[in-house]
Amino acid sequence: MPKSEFDLGWKDIEPGCSVSEPGNASQYRTGDWRSIRPVWDHTKCIKCGICYIYCPDAAIFKNPEGYFEADLYYCKGCGICAQECITGCIKMVEEAE
């Protein structure tokens, strides 16, 4: 695993600030941008997976019970899942709550 950006000194930077390790964007915690998070109401959820399909960050996964939930390491709280949900079972909740 490469160093975090805050651990790199100027001499550690590769020429042109290029990134030589493919796919290391997966280590980037985009979840810390989030101010609201999606919460599923399982009484209304029909497990259709529309939220999973629409999530622009592929941050929604299926849990062992077949319900969908967000990986909060990546989820930016954009609310697209709640917007697209057919049954209206996803509610965006303030992170402060």
Partner 1 sequence: MGKRVGIENSIAAADAVKMADVDVVAAYPITPQTHIVEHLAELVADGELDAEFIPVESEHSAMSVCCGSVAAGARTFTCTSAQGLALMNEIVFIAASLRLPIVMILANRSLSGPLSIWNDHTDVMSVRDCGWIQVFADNGQELFDHVLFAYRVAEDQKVSLPVMVNIDGFIVTHVIEAVEYWDEDQVKKYLPPFKPVNVLNPDKPITIGAFGMPGIFTEAKKNQDQALIDSKPHIMKAWDEMAKIVGRKYEPVETYKIEGAETAFLTMGSFSETASIAVDKLREAGKSVGQIKLRLWRPFPFDEIREAMKGVKKLIVIDRAISYGGPGGPVASEIRAALYQEKNMPAIANFLCGFAGRDVTADDFVRMCEKTEELAKNKKPIREEDYIFYGVRE
Residues that bind partner 1 (CB under 8 A): 4-6, 8-20, 22
The SS3 assignment for 37 reads strand
CA distance 60 to 28: 16
Whichever of 22 and 64 has its CB closer to partner 1, that residue is: 22
CB of 21 to partner 1, least distance (A): 8
Instruction: Sort residue 13 into left (φ over 0), alpha (ψ -120 to 50) or beta.
Output: beta
Whichever of 4 and 83 has its CB closer to partner 1, that residue is: 4
Whichever of 12 and 94 has its CB closer to partner 1, that residue is: 12
Given a contact cutoff of 8 angstroms between Cβ atoms, the answer to whether 50 and 94 are in contact is no
CB of 77 to partner 1, least distance (A): 19
Q: Which helix (H) or strand (E) holds 84?
A: helix 80-84
Whichever of 16 and 66 has its CB closer to partner 1, that residue is: 16
CB of 67 to partner 1, least distance (A): 33
CB of 24 to partner 1, least distance (A): 9
Instruction: Give φ, ψ of 70 to 5 degrees.
Output: -95, 140
